[in-house]
Structure 1
Amino acid sequence: MIHLCPVCNGFAALQQACTACGQPLQDAGRLSDFYGDYSPYQEIDNAKMDNGYMDGLRHQCIHTGWCPSCQTEQAVVLAEWTPAILVTDMEKDAYQ
């Protein structure tokens, strides 16, 4: 089954308030992109296996939120979507 992060794929903007000051956070990208020089190029599902979160099992994407007001950085957990239009015939057969 395919799961997509709505923020990574441009379907929605990050809408999270800063827990310190209440101002809107800016999206700084996936948390796993900050693990090392080549981490943005790593397969997303592989990065989820060793990041210390249960995001892979719960179909979540963890982003880094940046607050320009109070200069803080926060992890933001986003629910991934399962778009019905992307389910292929092969996947439909597998679930019947």
Structure 2
Amino acid sequence: MRSNSTAVFSFTVICPCFTFELVWNSIIPKYAAIDSMLDQINSCLDNIEERNEALNGKLHELLESNREARREFREQLPPPPPDEEPESAEH
């Protein structure tokens, strides 16, 4: 085992540029794979953001629709008789 590490060390001393090139060439595909995964994640997050914005818009429309329906419902209710107190005040 020692002879292998000595050989690598000797090789590094003899030709450091070639060793750097070997290491660099082995690292580049890993970074490229990570970059590709990050691109895919970014694309998914963009998709989620678009869906979130669409849902948020629909929820605001629904909220406004509910407010309008409650307003219309209250307008249709007859007013309480003036001589009676509301039930919540009696209890």
TM-score using structure 1 length: 0.18
Larger Rg: 2
Structure with the largest fraction of strand: 1
Give the number of the structure with larger relative contact order, counting CA–CA contacts within 8 Å between residues 6 or more apart.
Answer: 1
The structure where helix makes up a greater share of residues is 2
Q: TM-score, normalised by structure 2?
A: 0.19
